[in-house]
């Protein structure tokens, strides 16, 4: 055996040992973390939900009742169905945590617009959201890579949109977006970004703080598999729920924000 072959053999063994070592180190931690997140999602009332008393919150399931939204690449998972599942779970979590919160859905029988009229659908959602006179509007979506490059399929991160125009309302929307983005990033273990968007009617026309969540990319094949699992959707709903509680806590006690 040549010296070169011996060196390659030693290096390959070192890489293998390092991978086993890293696996032994990280695997139990990742398992413990997913068990913990699952347990949290099963117990929404363990957080102080008294901040929700008397609040009206609109939860909009993006695209549901109108069209499919983005599609998953392997299983053909429809964004509208995933959005609906998360929104429904979030609504029941809020109601279960505090019976004195008014949770309003913008979809259900109320939106039955056709595939070829997406603007009509969005206008109707905005109107329904405004009519409820809410304290907060949350529209649940999942992102999709639009570029054709092969690597773009593997993009996966969290983004939360809000409307930015320098007003007090947009400052509060930004705060809500920050709270929810932080929780989504932590619970789903994804990098997260806040993005001001002034082209979304639901955010622009809202009379209350409003956000759109894009918790992850449904076009990412691994993420699509996760999104097909009810547990994963519960954790996402719980992350948004936790962010909403934090937002109202900050609203009620702005001073606390600096100390955390
Ligand atoms: Zn969408």
Domain segments of the chain: what residues?
Answer: 1-42, 48-259
Task: Compute the distance from residue 140 Cα to the ligand 1 centre, in Å.
Answer: 8
Choose between 121 and 93: higher pLDDT: 93
The 10s digit of each residue's pLDDT in 137-183 is 999 999 999 877 777 888 999 999 999 999 999 999 999 999 999 99
pLDDT in tens, 24-52: 877 777 777 777 777 666 666 667 899 99
Q: How many angstroms does the Cα of residue 50 sit away from the middle of ligand 1?
A: 31
Measured between alpha carbons, how far is 80 from 70 in angstroms, rounded to an integer?
A: 8
Measured between alpha carbons, how far is residue 160 from residues 29, 66, 79, 91, 96 in Å?
28, 22, 16, 19, 25
pLDDT of 112 above 70: no
Residue 48: count other Cβ atoms within 10 Å of its Cβ.
11
Of 243 and 149, which is predicted with more confidence? 243
**Residue 21 CA to ligand 1 centre (angstroms):** 40
CATH classification code of 48-259: 3.40.630.40
pTM here is: 0.81
Dist. CA 179–CA 184, nearest whole Å: 9
């Amino acid at each position: 055996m040549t010296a070169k072959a011996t060196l390659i053999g030693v290096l390959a063994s070192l890489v293998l040992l390092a991978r086993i070592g890293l696996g032994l180190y990280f695997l139990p931690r990742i398992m413990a973390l997913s068990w913990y997140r699952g347990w949290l999602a099963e117990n929404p009332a363990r957080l102080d939900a008294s901040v929700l008393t008397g609040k009206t919150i609109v939860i909009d399931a993006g695209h549901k009742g109108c069209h499919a939204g983005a599609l998953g690449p392997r299983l053909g998972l429809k964004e509208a169905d995933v959005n609906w599942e998360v929104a429904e779970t979030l609504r029941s979590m809020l109601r279960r945590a505090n019976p004195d919160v008014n949770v309003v859905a913008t979809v259900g029988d109320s939106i039955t617009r056709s595939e070829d009229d997406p603007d009509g659908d969005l206008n109707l959602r905005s109107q329904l959201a405004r009519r409820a006179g809410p304290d907060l509007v949350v529209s649940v979506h999942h992102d999709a890579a639009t570029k054709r490059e092969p690597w773009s399929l593997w993009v996966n991160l969290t983004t939360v949109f809000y409307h930015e125009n320098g007003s007090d309302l947009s400052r509060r929307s930004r705060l809500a977006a920050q709270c929810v983005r932080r929780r989504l990033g932590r619970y789903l273990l994804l990098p997260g970004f806040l993005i001001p968007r002034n082209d979304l009617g639901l955010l622009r026309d809202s009379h209350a703080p409003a956000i759109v969540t894009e918790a992850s990319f449904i076009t990412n094949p691994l993420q699509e598999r996760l999104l097909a699992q009810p547990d994963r959707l519960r954790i996402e709903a719980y992350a948004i729920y936790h962010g909403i509680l934090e937002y109202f806590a900050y609203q009620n006690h702005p001073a606390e924000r600096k100390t955390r």
